[in-house]
Amino acid sequence: MSRIDIIRAWKDAAYRRSLSHDQLAGLPANPAGAVELTALEAAAVDGKMAYADCGSCHSHQPNCSSAVSAVSAKLT
């Protein structure tokens, strides 16, 4: 596999899914770490922002960053 194909496989989930089992087995680990969350990781974060009473825009809550920090501290 060429360097370009390896990098594409790390960045492009659709391309990664198109690879054969042998190609996936030969793919080196992404130096940035896991590209996707496992089901267990996804379950751990599901709804945590709602717990912090935080939306996605971060502009409607004056203390949003401190609420997010508090939740993050509880999760670790």
Q: Is the pLDDT of residue 33 over 70?
A: yes
**Same-domain pairing of 27 and 41:** no
**Same-domain pairing of 46 and 26:** no
The first and second tokens of residue 43, run together, are 């379950």
Mean pLDDT across the stretch 53-68?
53
Cα-Cα-Cα-Cα dihedral sign, residues 39, 15, 30, 73: negative
Count how many domains the chain has. 2
What whole-number distance in Å separates Cα of residue 66 and Cα of residue 73?
Answer: 10
Q: How far is CA 27 from CA 11, 24, 66, in A?
A: 12, 5, 40
Assessment of whether the complete model's pTM goes beyond 0.85? no
**pLDDT for 45-58, tens place per residue?**
766 555 545 555 55
Model pLDDT, residue 42: 75
Q: Which domain holds residue 24?
A: 1-36
